[in-house]
Amino acid sequence: MRQEWLAFIGSLRKGSYNRALFDVFSGMAPADVVWHEAEIRALPFYNPDMAPPPEADHFWQQVRSADALVFFTPEYNGSIPAVLKNAIDWASRDPQGSPLVGKPAVVLGASQGLFGTLRSQLHLRQILSFVGMELVQRPEVLVSEAHLKLEPRGQLNDPVAVRLMKTLAQNLYERVGRMLAV
């Protein structure tokens, strides 16, 4: 059964470890998963006093049409990057109603530190739960020392993380499948 997954890559950096993690993870999803990348770069900071820009309309459509959301977060000062929080704020305020409520999601992350993205994932999971998303909690994927483990060709030199990512992709696929079958 074809599924549409929307990737939120929380780093804008050209050589982002989380973009590389997306490259690896997207190759582990079942073959009938179609990937799209959330266009979060152009969203202005959320301000309820301003009229939504055209970028917000396009973004809301992306989120509405996705069967699942996949968040790739770095850790900035012990939390998630502003661009990722801003995207969640915009998504939750769709005039047609929040498309986040009940939507399946997973969280992954890569950083150079020894703890991976532990703190940012805790914060992100709290936010996603608050906005009503259906999180697939296990297994947790926190790639530490990403500068040593992620290769530019979309490979991950960490057999434990690879195994966990394959399981996470399968768990998300099965959760979405159950929801689409209803």
> Cα separation of 172 and 106, whole Å?
7
The predicted pLDDT at position 30 comes to 92
Q: How do residues 43-59 score in pLDDT, each as one tens digit?
A: 999 999 999 999 999 99
The predicted pLDDT at position 80 comes to 94
**Is the CB of residue 3 less than 8 Å from the CB of residue 177?**
yes
**Position 14 confidence tier, pLDDT thresholds 50, 70, 90:** confident
For residue 7, give the nearest of 103, 65, 62, 71 by alpha carbon: 71
CATH code of the domain containing 148: 3.40.50.360
Structure tokens at 113: 């530190």
Structure tokens at 39: 């266009």
> Cα separation of 51 and 59, whole Å?
15
pTM of the model as a whole: 0.94
The domain in which residue 101 lies consists of 3-181
Inform me whether the pLDDT recorded for 181 exceeds 90: no
Average pLDDT over residues 115-125: 91
Question: Residue 70 phi/psi, 5° resolution?
Answer: -125, 120
What Cα–Cα distance (Å) separates residue 142 from each residue in 3, 90, 130, 176? 25, 26, 22, 22
| Cα 10 from chain centre | 8
The predicted pLDDT at position 114 comes to 86
The predicted pLDDT at position 113 comes to 86
Average pLDDT over residues 48-72: 94
Average pLDDT over residues 33-42: 95
Count structural domains, the chain: 1
